């Protein structure tokens, strides 16, 4: 009996722990407390820096620009509000006040929150479903999140058109952890694509990706990482920096931009050194053919020194009519053989998740990534984007680790319906905590 109890206790200790919203908000609070208030000290300061940042975060987390307005109204009537009980705000600032305060805060001061969440997920075993190719896959992909013909700041990039007009815009790399078969992606700290001091040319996505490596690669020590990206990344300088920090890569490799490599492939194919593999699979009463070509240890470029890479190609067709459903080629440092080449190409294909499960959700499913929440004169646009990403990350984590949250999301069905319920309930009812709100949504008590 005692052994059985000890065994159950050990099983209990090995179970992944729930990451509550309270814990996640503690990570955010710790980061905010480490930020120097950009305002001059004054007795007339009405709202704290903490209230301003949490206020902005709460709008994204609740997916409602009117959330704070409802809470100020509740506070005036009841003396308390859900802004206090759910997010820990002391006073509820207005949106213009939030914009003025947050504009002076660097977005990078919030990057530590992403790292804290990643480490907690890893520590508690929640990343096990994302394990692939012996480690984790991280997709790098840039996206634009603001543009205007008039508004601009020192952090804006610009694009001049043939008619003489100029578009000012903001963009960033939004890295995510993903895996084939997983519907969720886990957001990591963004890297902003901005004009860099000392550079005549405007910043580009690859330069930003190199900065992301420099700033964040140390966070993944002890965990094998494979980076995914499009053809933009599959060139020697980028690949060398990835290998230097102990990471691997699977990048799209187009013939138009890698003529030297493809000349090698043509020669190797002519002498029979390009290996082939064909796998047929049934799916929904149709049979599909997966045709692979692969070769190990070829130079990435003509000029020397050239790093050696492994190359593979997948052509996915429907057997009944021969229609090509997917075709792409990749370079990697993963060894390719009959067992690994399907895994490597599947990983390369999974990069679409960063569009479908990350960018598209952020832009079209309530987070309104491309909406201009405020541009400011310094850091407002990038800081608001970061808080928006953190809101998305926190909901993802709750979905992965919190059974009650999973149940209410499943019960409510659509993402839109879930957030409509959140707003309606918090507009009229005061809840003691986030768990009280979720329990009310589940059980009506």
Give per-residue pLDDT as tens, 217-272. 999 988 999 999 999 999 999 999 999 999 999 999 999 999 999 999 999 999 99
Question: Are the beta carbons of 235 and 254 closer than 8 angstroms?
Answer: no
Mean pLDDT of 95-110: 92
Buried b (16+ CB within 10 A) or exposed e, 394-409: bbbbbebbbeebeebb
Predicted confidence at residue 323, as pLDDT, reads: 93
Predicted confidence at residue 276, as pLDDT, reads: 97
DSSP secondary structure, 264-286, as one string: HHHHHHHTT-SEEEEEEEEETTE
Question: Are the beta carbons of 67 and 345 closer than 8 angstroms?
Answer: no
Q: How many CB atoms lie within 10 A of CB 223?
A: 14
The model's pTM? 0.89
Average pLDDT over the chain, rounded to an integer: 88
Confidence of residue 136 (pLDDT cuts 50, 70, 90): very high
**Percent of the chain's residues with pLDDT above 70:** 88
pLDDT at 369 over 80: no
Give per-residue pLDDT as tens, 5-50. 354 344 444 445 678 999 999 999 999 999 999 887 775 578 899 9
Beta bridge partners of 229: 251
Task: Name the residue with higher pLDDT: 378 or 251.
Answer: 251
pLDDT at 366 over 50: no
Give per-residue pLDDT as tens, 189-211. 999 987 654 444 555 889 999 99
Task: Name the residue with higher pLDDT: 52 or 359.
Answer: 52
Predicted confidence at residue 339, as pLDDT, reads: 97
Tell me which H or E stretch contains 187: strand 186-187
Predicted confidence at residue 16, as pLDDT, reads: 54
Task: Name the residue with higher pLDDT: 110 or 416.
Answer: 110
Question: How many Å apart are CA 93 and CA 47, to the nearest integer?
Answer: 7
Q: How many CB atoms lie within 10 A of CB 172?
A: 26
Predicted confidence at residue 12, as pLDDT, reads: 41
Mean pLDDT of 151-164: 79
Packing angle, helices 380-401 and 95-102, rounded to 10: 110
Predicted confidence at residue 17, as pLDDT, reads: 64
pLDDT at 103 over 50: yes
Nearest Cα neighbor of 249 from 235, 228, 275, 233 is 228
Q: How many CB atoms lie within 10 A of CB 103?
A: 19
Question: How many Å apart are CA 382 and CA 208, to the nearest integer?
Answer: 14
Nearest Cα neighbor of 53 from 76, 73, 27, 72 is 27
Secondary structure E strands in 201-263: 225-229, 248-252
Peptide bond preceding 219: is omega within 30 degrees of 0, i.e. cis?
Answer: no
**Edge-to-edge order in the sheet of strand 275-283:** 186-187, 176-178, 136-139, 225-229, 248-252, 324-332, 308-318, 286-299, 275-283
Give per-residue pLDDT as tens, 296-333. 999 999 999 999 999 999 999 999 899 999 999 999 99
User: What values do phi and psi take at 307, rounded to 5?
Assistant: -75, 155
Predicted confidence at residue 13, as pLDDT, reads: 45
Predicted confidence at residue 22, as pLDDT, reads: 95
Two tokens, residue 47: 């709202």
């Amino acid at each position: 009996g005692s052994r059985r109890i000890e065994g159950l206790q050990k099983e209990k200790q090995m179970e992944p722990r729930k990451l509550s919203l309270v814990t996640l908000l503690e990570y955010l609070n710790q980061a905010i407390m480490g930020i120097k208030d950009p305002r001059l000290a004054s007795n007339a300061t009405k709202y704290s820096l903490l209230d301003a940042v949490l206020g902005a975060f709460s709008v994204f987390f609740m997916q409602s620009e009117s959330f704070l307005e409802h809470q100020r109204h509740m506070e005036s009537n009841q003396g308390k509000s859900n802004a206090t009980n759910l997010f820990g705000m002391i006073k509820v600032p207005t949106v213009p006040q939030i914009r003025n305060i947050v504009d002076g805060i660097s977005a990078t001061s919030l990057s530590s929150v992403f790292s804290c969440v990643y480490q907690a997920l890893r520590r508690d075993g929640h990343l096990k479903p994302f394990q692939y190719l012996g480690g984790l896959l991280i997709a790098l992909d840039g996206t634009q999140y603001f543009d205007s013909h008039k508004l601009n700041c020192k952090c804006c990039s610009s694009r001049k058109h043939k008619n003489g007009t100029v578009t000012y815009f903001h963009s960033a790399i939004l890295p995510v952890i993903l895996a084939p078969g997983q519907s969720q992606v886990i957001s990591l700290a963004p890297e902003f694509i901005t004009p860099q001091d000392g550079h005549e040319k405007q910043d580009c996505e690859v330069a930003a990706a190199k900065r992301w490596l420099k700033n964040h690669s140390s966070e993944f020590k002890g965990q094998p990482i494979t980076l995914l990206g499009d053809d933009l990344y599959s060139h020697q300088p980028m690949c060398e920096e990835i290998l230097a920090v102990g990471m691997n890569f699977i990048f799209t490799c187009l013939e138009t931009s890698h003529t030297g490599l493809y000349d090698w492939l043509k020669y190797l194919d002519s002498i029979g050194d390009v290996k082939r593999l064909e796998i047929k699979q049934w799916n929904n009463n149709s049979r599909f053919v997966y045709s692979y070509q692969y070769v190990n240890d070829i130079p990435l470029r003509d000029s020397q020194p050239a790093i050696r890479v492994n190359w593979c190609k997948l052509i996915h067709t429907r057997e009944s009519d021969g229609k090509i459903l997917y075709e792409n080629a990749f370079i990697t440092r993963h060894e390719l053989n009959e067992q690994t080449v399907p895994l490597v190409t599947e990983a390369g294909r999974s990069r679409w998740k960063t569009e479908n499960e990350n960018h598209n959700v952020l832009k079209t499913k309530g987070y309104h990534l491309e909406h201009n929440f405020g541009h400011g004169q310094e850091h407002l646009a990038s800081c608001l984007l970061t808080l928006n990403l953190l809101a998305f990350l926190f909901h993802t984590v709750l979905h992965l680790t919190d059974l009650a949250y999973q149940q209410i999301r499943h019960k409510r069905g659509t993402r839109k319906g879930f957030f409509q319920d959140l707003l309606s309930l918090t507009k009229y009812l005061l809840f003691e905590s986030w768990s009280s709100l979720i329990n009310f949504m589940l059980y009506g008590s």
